[in-house]
Amino acid sequence: MSIDQAINQDGPPAQDKRRPSRRTVFALVPLAALATTGVGVGAARLLRPPDVPATPLGALGSLDGGLARIHGIIPLETDSWKPPEPVATLKSPIASGGHRVRVLLELTASKASGVRFESTDFAVGEIVGFRAEPLWASQQSAIISLGENLQVTFIFEIPNKAIQLVLEGPGQLRLALGTAHHSNP
């Protein structure tokens, strides 16, 4: 008698026909959810590079062709300064919980290529997605040649809370605004 015949005579080997217990199933559900979350977070980290850390207030930050630094952030409610010409956007009421600040930016061309300045390249941002475009800028555009400086004044409406905000510019320029200009903690 062959082995095949012997197996067929005795029948197929016994198989365990039990289903997984409820306890096993309930243990697998959170593990599957955790794995799915991990895959999603991992994919998000790979698709979105981490933000470049902000340059501290007053320090020099690099931009294409030169350097930039903030040398002043002044709340308009404590300052008598006004733009040289009337600005329609500044006549509108300030949003609840906000205030307007004057940001003084200095740009220096340190490379032969110079610095190309466009006011629309700048905005104030925060980690959680807040973004404020300039309400006004003293200069709209300029080309700064090697060794030259450009002083630009911006007016932004930002939250009046002690939160970390940055002036974002072209490329990866991120200049910290600090928190001293806020009157609300």
**Mean pLDDT over residues 143-162, rounded?**
92
How many Å apart are CA 48 and CA 41, to the nearest integer? 11
Mean pLDDT of the chain: 83
Q: Give 42's contacts (C-beta < 8 A, 6+ positions apart).
A: none
Instruction: Yes or no: say if 112 and 146 are a contact pair by the CB < 8 Å rule.
Output: yes
**89-144 pLDDT per residue, tens:** 888 888 888 889 999 999 999 999 999 999 999 999 886 678 899 999 999 999 99
How many Å apart are CA 105 and CA 164, to the nearest integer? 18
- The Cβ of residue 173 has, within 10 Å, a number of other Cβ atoms equal to 20
How many Å apart are CA 167 and CA 109, to the nearest integer? 19
* pLDDT of amino acid 22: 77
Instruction: Yes or no: say if 144 and 150 are a contact pair by the CB < 8 Å rule.
Output: yes
Angle at 157 between CA 52 and CA 107, to 5 degrees: 50
* pLDDT of amino acid 34: 85
What does the chain come to in residues?
Answer: 185
Which has the higher per-residue pLDDT, 49 or 39? Answer: 39
Q: How many CA atoms lie within 13 A of 175 on its CB side?
A: 24
How many Å apart are CA 89 and CA 76, to the nearest integer? 14
Q: Give 51's contacts (C-beta < 8 A, 6+ positions apart).
A: 127, 174
* pLDDT of amino acid 36: 87
How many Å apart are CA 147 and CA 112, to the nearest integer? 9
